[in-house]
Structure 1
Amino acid sequence: MGPARGGGEAPNHLSGGEGAPHAGTVPGVPDRTATLSRPAQGPASRQVERHTIERQQPRTTNTSGPQFCPTESPTSLETVRTWSTHAAWIACCGSLPRGLAPGWYADLVAGAREAGTRIALDTTGPALLAALPARPDVIKPNASELAAAVGRPLSTLADVTEAAQELRARGAGAVLASLGADGQLLVAEEGTYYGTARVPVDRVRSNVGAGDASLAGFLVAGGTGPAALASALAHGAAAVQLPGSAMLTPADLSPEAVRVTQDLPLDLRLSEPATA
């Protein structure tokens, strides 16, 4: 979870990913580092190790994460709330650590909304479904995660649009759907927008971290509307052109390669149809 301090300022602490907290430099925001936080030996609520990751030292963290005991769930919620005081956004990314119930994100969303903090939720499965009634401000599923959430396959942009609208009806404020090479779709109260970013095939190196970069780009640009979608596309496109989990810099962005429209090509067939 990453609090963004002040009025719309970019989050500078991000965590999540397969039940293990991880962090990275916020794409497009120069001269920042991120904090990698994980429970040290002993109860997760009592001791935390912190390490600074410098911009030019990309790392990948993908482990099973800590085992939480039932008594640590409320304490961890309170810890996040304390760290997020006066935050503009909290980014909840990845699956939950072992030992936390699927409703943990829902409790966090509800508490954040009471405090006036916006929530971006990038998770899937039971944790996503449980959080929807708490009304997260934006969720960021990919096509497969979206198909699983609605329980049916998605093969066209029309299918994706309908599924996103269904999740909005179930509580999501906005749905930012990542469609891989087919671009991204934003379905929100202010409208529905579809966008793509040109990336030469021979420039694609790795999709590791592209989703995180895309969400960061969305939030950096305010987290709403077509401009935020364009920023998400630019950040995601830049990330796939970098090796491994290397974090992009402003110099890597190519906003001129991005196209966003409200004229949706609903009959567009997904290059990788999603199954439920």
Structure 2
Amino acid sequence: MTEATRPGSVVTLTPNPSIDHTVEIPALERGEVQRTSTALVEAGGKGVNVARVLAKHGHRTIAILPAGADAQRMIALLEPQKVTTVPVPIAGSIRTNIAVVEQDGTTTKLNEPGATLSPVELAALLNAVEEYLAPRPSWLVAAGSLPGGVPDDFYARVAALAVAARVPVAIDTSGPALAAAIDAGATVIKPNLEELEEILGRELTTVGDVVQAGRDLRAKGTKELLVSMGGHGALLITEQGSWWAGGPPLVPRSTVGAGDCTLSGYIHATGTPAQRLATAVAWGRAACLQPGSTVPGPEDTRACADAVRVVADPDPLQAVKDVAS
């Protein structure tokens, strides 16, 4: 790959990173001692996952995250994956998350809350973002839950920094943090259906409900909404219109990080909105076929691309749970 054709650089921000331990078992039986068939350890957190999969597809990626004395462990996990880690020093430690994946793809996650950040540490995190926005990367991706000590408007402040630096910004979070970020002019937000329902305070039962919700949020300042719907595919709402994309049912090996890979595919892709959505869904499907939080490479995503179908202006009366997938 020549420099002229190399994908653009991407900066990611993960305010609540993790060390992810994933184990695979035939079926989870509460209260019993069970032997695992596979055990994986990966650097995790939504933004970190985005950095990992984009690096695997040729992007230069920089992962900004808070870390204490365990920063070197995160660096050691990400360096072989060609991700540059920018640890912002904190007094606390990176959390450990555990995912138990059953043979039918059912995933049970046990997530620790993470370190509480002080005002000084929070300011240092924002300063690091501003520093790495200065060279004008292709994208800033800010993603994941907020740790203690971080206010709900954190991602709105991050989005404002990106807008000021004229860098496209993607936000992937939930709850009040997502609601606060919507007005800040993010290029794209990527809620799943449940997260979208939560911030709107209403159930979205039809495709038309989801599309209208996307239009309502666009009117508040967000430019594009990429709504992941699990096995029912994804919906994209932009200024140009709306599209649904999905593929035939599959039995996932693990769903950990699939949404992060969906967003990454959308950022990586070029072309029309429909083409970018198709790439996003292919990347998400490819992630579901990997063990644990392993991210798919180019061969994996290409293998899933032909199965993806895109529908422009999908039937607004169709129930979300009945959308072909």
If the TM-score is normalised by the length of the shorter chain, which range does it land in? 0.7 to 0.9
TM-score relative to the length of structure 2: 0.71
Does the 8 A contact of 2:226 with 2:236 survive in 1?
A: yes
Aligned partners of 1:226, 1:104: CA distance in 2, in Å? Answer: 31
Change (3 A) 1:31 1:73: closer
C-alpha displacement of 1:226: 1.4
Aligned partners of 1:35, 1:154: CA distance in 2, in Å? Answer: 34
Does the 8 A contact of 1:138 with 1:174 survive in 2?
A: yes
Can you give the 5+ residue segments of structure 1 that lack an aligned partner in the other structure?
1-5
Q: Which residue of 1 aligns with 2:213?
A: 163
Change (3 A) 1:68 1:9: same
**Match of 2:260, as an amino acid?**
D
User: Which of 304, 307, 310 pairs up with 1:260?
Assistant: 310
Q: How does 1:181-260 map to 2 (within 5 A)?
A: 181-201=231-251, 204-222=252-270, 225-253=273-301, 254-260=304-310
Q: Which runs of 4+ in 1 moved over 6 A?
A: 31-34
C-alpha displacement of 1:69: 0.9
Q: Which residue of 2 aligns with 1:16?
A: 14
TM-superposition CA deviations, 1:205-254 (whole Å, max 9, x none): 11111000001100001497111111101000111111211111111122
Q: Which residue of 1 aligns with 2:86?
A: none
Aligned partners of 1:148, 1:179: CA distance in 2, in Å? Answer: 14
Q: What is the RMSD computed on CA atoms of the aligned residues? A: 3.3
TM-score relative to the length of structure 1: 0.83
Q: Are 2:119 and 1:70 aligned?
A: yes
Aligned partners of 2:281, 2:127: CA distance in 1, in Å? Answer: 34
Q: Are 2:130 and 1:81 aligned?
A: yes
Aligned partners of 2:139, 2:205: CA distance in 1, in Å? Answer: 32
TM-superposition CA deviations, 1:39-62 (whole Å, max 9, x none): 2149x9xx996334335xxxx855
Aligned partners of 1:223, 1:160: CA distance in 2, in Å? Answer: 24
Aligned partners of 1:147, 1:73: CA distance in 2, in Å? Answer: 29
Can you give the 5+ residue segments of structure 2 that lack an aligned partner in the other structure?
19-43, 82-95, 98-110
**Match of 1:126, as an amino acid?**
P
Percent identity reads 34
Q: Name the SS of the counterpart of 1:120 in structure 2.
A: strand
C-alpha displacement of 1:124: 1.0
Aligned partners of 1:76, 1:38: CA distance in 2, in Å? Answer: 7
Does the 8 A contact of 1:33 with 1:52 survive in 2?
A: no
| Bigger relative CO (Cα 8 Å, ≥ 6 apart) | 1
Q: Which residue of 1 aligns with 2:171?
A: 121
Q: Which residue of 2 aligns with 1:3?
A: none
User: Which of 196, 199, 203 pairs up with 1:153?
Assistant: 203
Does the 8 A contact of 1:109 with 1:136 survive in 2?
A: yes
Q: Are 2:79 and 1:29 aligned?
A: no
C-alpha displacement of 1:9: 3.2
Aligned partners of 2:130, 2:17: CA distance in 1, in Å? Answer: 19
Q: Name the SS of the counterpart of 1:106 in structure 2.
A: helix
